[in-house]
């Protein structure tokens, strides 16, 4: 029955759906959402309620919260004309929508613009990241009031920039030094990088913590940051040694750096990840001063949605011993130059958690700034370049046991027509955005009817 519904969903995506077909698709979508989210209902129903309300708000939020549906559809939709067996081993971010890029200060001290979400990291066809990003550009562009013709231009700009960057990396090591910084960007992307440069650790600590009698602890912030019970606190604190051991010895700090000062649960972050447990740990940092305390973010990880459509992740799965938090940590380190040295993982009470610094210098990319065709088109170049960089540096350059190919070469060789790929991705994006809108509208009806969705 499930395969029949999936096949029917593909038919809906390839033509204007008949009423009967869309009714079946509606039922299938509701089932997919329930099945994906229900395992988290017992531990974080508050965030799941927030997730459903957020997804009901607009089509883009729905798209962000249903990457598992996107990859179910990739099973049945026609493949790209510009892929090969080898390009199917691209290390994907897996959820490359326009909101999953941003700026941060890397471990070398440079403020750079990159992909910034790695939860769905997996091996698969590079076009899936392009398709997901392009579809998000349609949904976000329309929400920003931009005409479809201008969105089409921006998508082609993004794809063209991706291909050109991969071409420039082919046969060189240029990808190992390429970064998007203040000096080689403009528009909203440059603004995001500049905002990152102006951020301070003091601002982050002031937002989430307080100092009382010389001791810094987390604030209690309703619906945002809440205390944990003593058992959870003890379990997380006890897992710190396992987390530290997951970091390369050459990147570990002195034991005092990781001394736990406080632990709270973080609520309400993201869209797709809502329902998965997330915690903040306040640790000592470089010195005993309260001014340089560090916040670690822990995030519950489960299997990648990309695995719905790809069986190429075995090399990655064997490398991470089947631990999804390790998979995410590896993706984070593979896809960013000068990666966060606090990236690691640990298993706590049977649940796998990805650890990284809650960076004081991280700035999400505010796509709502892209309110004109020119702004969107300018940003599109950098989105394509950032995605190409992530794909190119996470191939054999990072670990040949996981990806044995030079992916920049494989992709460049597969794209026999840049214009052809630009048109293919643009056409896909508008067709899939139409289906997302239908799915969203049916979801809203199901949600408003009170149907259990988790």
The tokens describing 395, both together, are 């191939």
pLDDT computed for residue 7 by the predictor: 37
Please tell me the distance from the alpha carbon of residue 289 to that of residue 312, in angstroms, as a whole number.
Answer: 47
Residue-wise pLDDT tens digits, 417-434: 999 999 999 999 999 999
Who has greater pLDDT, 5 or 354?
A: 354
81-97 tens-digit pLDDT: 999 999 999 999 999 99
Q: Which two tokens stand for residue 355?
A: 């650890």
What region, left, alpha or beta, does residue 350 occupy, with left being phi > 0 and alpha being psi -120 to 50 degrees?
A: left
Q: For residue 20, what pLDDT is reported? A: 54
CB 132 within 8 A of CB 96: yes
The mean pLDDT value for 133-160 works out to 98
> Is pLDDT at 33 greater than 70 in this prediction?
yes
User: Cα angle vertex 41, ends 220, 330, to 5°?
Assistant: 80
- Give the global pTM: 0.94
Over residues 308-367, the pLDDT tens digits come to 999 998 778 666 677 999 999 999 999 999 999 999 999 999 999 999 999 999 999 999
pLDDT of residue 314: 76
For residue 83, which phi and psi values (nearest 5 degrees)?
-130, 160
């Amino acid at each position: 029955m499930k395969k029949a519904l999936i096949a029917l969903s593909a038919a809906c995506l390839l033509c204007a759906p008949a009423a009967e077909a869309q009714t079946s698709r509606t039922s299938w979508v509701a089932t997919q959402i329930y099945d994906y989210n229900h395992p988290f209902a017992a531990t974080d129903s508050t965030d799941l309620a927030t997730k459903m309300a957020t997804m009901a708000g607009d089509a883009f939020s729905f798209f962000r919260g249903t990457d598992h549906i996107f990859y179910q559809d990739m099973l049945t939709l026609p493949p790209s004309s510009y892929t090969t067996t080898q390009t199917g081993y691209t290390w994907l971010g897996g959820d490359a929508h326009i909101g999953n890029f941003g700026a941060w200060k890397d471990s070398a001290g440079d403020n750079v613009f990159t992909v910034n979400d790695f939860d769905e990291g997996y091996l698969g066809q590079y076009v899936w990241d392009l398709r997901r990003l392009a579809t998000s550009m349609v949904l976000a562009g329309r929400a920003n009031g931009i005409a479809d013709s201008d969105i089409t231009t921006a998508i082609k700009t993004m794809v063209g920039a991706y291909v050109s960057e991969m071409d420039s990396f082919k046969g060189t090591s240029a990808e190992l030094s390429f970064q998007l910084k203040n000096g080689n960007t403009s528009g909203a992307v440059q603004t995001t990088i500049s905002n990152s440069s102006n951020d301070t650790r003091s601002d982050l600590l002031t937002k989430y913590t307080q100092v009382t009698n010389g001791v810094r602890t987390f604030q209690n912030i309703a619906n945002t940051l809440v205390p944990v019970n003593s058992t959870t606190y003890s379990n997380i604190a006890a897992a710190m040694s396992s987390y530290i051991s997951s970091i390369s010895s050459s990147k570990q700090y002195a034991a005092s750096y990781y001394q736990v000062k406080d632990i709270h649960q973080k609520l309400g972050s993201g869209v797709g990840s809502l329902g998965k447990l997330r915690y903040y740990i306040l640790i000592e940092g470089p010195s005993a001063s309260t001014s340089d305390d560090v916040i670690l973010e822990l995030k519950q990880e489960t299997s990648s949605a990309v695995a719905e459509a790809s069986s190429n992740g075995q090399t990655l799965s064997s490398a991470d011993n089947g631990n999804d938090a390790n998979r995410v940590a590896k993706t984070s380190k593979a896809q960013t130059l000068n990666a966060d040295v606090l990236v690691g993982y640990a298993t706590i009470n049977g649940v796998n958690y990805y650890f990284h610094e809650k960076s004081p210098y991280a700035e999400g990319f505010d796509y709502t700034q892209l309110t004109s065709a020119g702004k969107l088109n300018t940003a599109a170049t950098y989105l394509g370049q950032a995605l190409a960089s992530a794909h190119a540096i996470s191939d054999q350059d990072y670990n040949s046991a996981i990806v044995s190919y030079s992916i920049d070469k494989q992709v460049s060789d597969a794209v026999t027509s840049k214009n052809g790929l630009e048109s293919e991705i643009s056409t896909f994006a508008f067709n899939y955005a139409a289906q997302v809108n239908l799915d969203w509208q049916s979801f809203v009806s199901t949600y408003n009817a009170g149907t259990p969705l988790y």
